[in-house]
Amino acid sequence: MGQIHQNPETSNWYGRKSNSIEYWHQASISVNDLQLDTNTEKPKVGILGYASEEGVNRNQGRLGTKAGPKAIRNMMGSLAFHLPEQTRVFDYGDVITHNSDMESSHDLISTTVAKLLETNHFPVLLGGGHDLALAHARGVYHYLKSKGEKLGIINLDAHFDLRPLNNGKGHSGSPFFQLAEEFKDDFHYLCLGIQRSVNPKSLFETAERSNSQWMVMEDFRLNNWEVIQEKILWFLDSKDKIYLTVDMDGFASAYAPGVSAPSPMGFEPDFAFKVFELITKSKKVISMDVVELNPNFDLDHATARLAARCAEYVVRKVFS
């Protein structure tokens, strides 16, 4: 697909050897040139990386997220494979950004996501900056449009990512602002883990205007589980499909130091995985991504390991 797509590298997947498929690196099939598997009879996972940091750069963040997809694959390969025996896992490589043309990268991602869904894949996108959400969601919206189904977006994140454009250009802090502008009444957004310290009043006002829903970090804790559960279930009940996006900077930096915008006050992995379980039980999750991993600032691959575990856990629950 030209200069903005890179074919997968089989060397990204490694782990313990066995005579049968017991680990993700054994289950992963590398496919060149975005030649999607069109067999709709068997369940399958479609992995696509977004090896780009242009959106982070435009948002004045710390650079390094373009190495995120490789780092996640490296950690994911050694995880035990618990999907149904007939499930196929296809790695379709990475979309990159050439000459700062982030918008062309987004177009390719949107088109590919729609095609993945049309061919019965469960898309798992690996970032990369959170501007990926704009391209990812557009692809899901396009797929669902002909079906007349309502999409809900659930984001685990410290930030709303509802910031306005910079000089008319999108960035890693603006994807949900752009989606709200583009899809208007069809924009249904729930953000969990919002930290007041990194979201000024103007963003809360934008969230109100766009009819977004959220829970601030002070309320997004285990001792408030009944309230959290009710809010999530209400959101799930009123939507046909869910796109789940996980920003690694929503986790406390003790667990996820390798991000562009770390915070000591984020949520813990055990709690996030409890939320994942609740969301996936709905059987409405249609697609997911994990974003904002920055290997330049990681410690002993802790954040990459956690990102890989997030993707593996959600996929396992979706296919169970």
pLDDT along the chain (320 residues), means of 10: 85 96 97 95 94 94 96 98 95 96 97 97 97 98 95 98 96 98 98 97 98 98 97 97 98 97 95 98 98 97 98 97
- Report yes or no: 289 and 127 within 8 Å, Cβ to Cβ: yes
- Report yes or no: 158 and 261 within 8 Å, Cβ to Cβ: yes
Residue with tokens 């390719």: 108
Query: Which of helix, strand or coil describes residue 192?
Result: strand
Task: For residue 212, give both structure tokens.
Answer: 């977004």
How remote is the C-alpha of 155 from its chain's centroid? 8
Q: Is 218 exposed, middle or buried (0-12, 13-18, 19+ CB in 10 A)?
A: exposed
Supply φ then ψ for residue 30, to 5 degrees: -80, 130
Neighbour count for residue 141 (Cβ, 10 Å): 21
Among 274, 285, 268, 195, which Cα is nearest to 229's?
274
Parallel/antiparallel/unpaired status of strands 189-194 and 213-216: parallel
Q: How far is CA 69 from CA 2, 87, 216, 241, in A?
A: 19, 22, 28, 25
Q: Report the pLDDT value the prediction gives residue 41, as an integer from 0 to 100.
A: 86
Neighbour count for residue 126 (Cβ, 10 Å): 26
Amino acid at 251: F
Q: How far apart are CA 249 and CA 65, in angstroms?
A: 12
Q: Report the pLDDT value the prediction gives residue 200, as an integer from 0 to 100.
A: 98
Among 31, 14, 11, 12, which Cα is nearest to 79's?
14
Residue with tokens 């900077």: 249
